[in-house]
Amino acid sequence: MSELVLTARHALGKKVSAEALVAKDGFSARYDLNRLEGVFSRPAHKLVGQSYVGRILVLDTAKGGVASAWMLHEMQSRNMAPVAIIFNTVNTILAQGAALGGISMLAGFDQDVTEVIPHGSLVEVDPETKTLRLLRAGSGETTSATFAHGQSETSPVHIKSRH
């Protein structure tokens, strides 16, 4: 098998490597995450229940605005953030949020990154060279969730709402 290296048009941050959570879905730090427990919490999200802490998120597009950008900074301040976020497309506000939060980011590939990188793969993000390198392919299965902070498949995912 030849080495898989994808090149992005946009990059920021430092070189990191970790397990990739991959889904053909969007990303909003405000609406998709339980930032206190470190898991995807929006019931319709393809990664619901899975821990994003210390992982590299590989998703289709960035959603959200200033609130999502500030939330990335807040998550990083509590050590509850992904180490990198990878997008097919990203908006400038979320790119600024990744920079503010110290979270590495790549975006804008010639291929759909969510189709090329299998879920659970070990990947390396190198913003200096604008590359995403597949170090070890994962199973591609998204059905077995990895939970944070003592959570399990039967634990409820708490979503706090403001009324």
Q: Which domain holds residue 121?
A: 5-136
Domain assignment of residue 91, yes or no: yes
User: Does residue 160 sit within a domain?
Assistant: no
CATH of residue 21's domain is 3.50.30.10
**Is the pLDDT score of 161 beyond 50?**
no
pLDDT band at residue 3 using 50, 70 and 90 as cut-offs: confident
Whether 157 shows a pLDDT value over 60: the answer reads no
Q: What mean pLDDT comes out for the span 13-40?
A: 93
In a domain, 114, yes or no: yes
Residue written as token pair 């090149």: 7
Of 18-27, 36-45, 136-145, the one with minimum mean pLDDT is 136-145
Residue 146 DSSP symbol: -
Give the pLDDT confidence of 31-89 residue by residue, as tens digits: 899 988 999 999 999 999 999 999 999 999 988 788 888 899 999 999 999 999 999 99
Q: What value does the mean pLDDT take over residues 105-123?
A: 96
- Residue 151 within a domain: no
* Cα–Cα distance, 163 to 19 (Å, whole number): 37
The reported pTM is 0.84
pLDDT at 114 over 60: yes
Domain assignment present for 161 = no
Q: Are strands 131-136 and 122-126 parallel, antiparallel or unpaired?
A: antiparallel
CA–CA gap between residue 34 and residue 42 (Å, rounded): 8
Residue of 157 and 140 predicted with greater confidence: 140
Per the structure, the count of domains in the chain is: 1
Q: For residue 157, is it within any domain?
A: no
Residue 86 lies in a domain: yes
Residue 144 or residue 71, greater confidence: 71
Domain presence at residue 150: no
- Mean pLDDT to the nearest integer, 82-110: 94
pLDDT band with cut points at 50, 70 and 90 for residue 2: low
Angle separating helix axes 92-101 and 66-77, nearest 10 degrees: 20
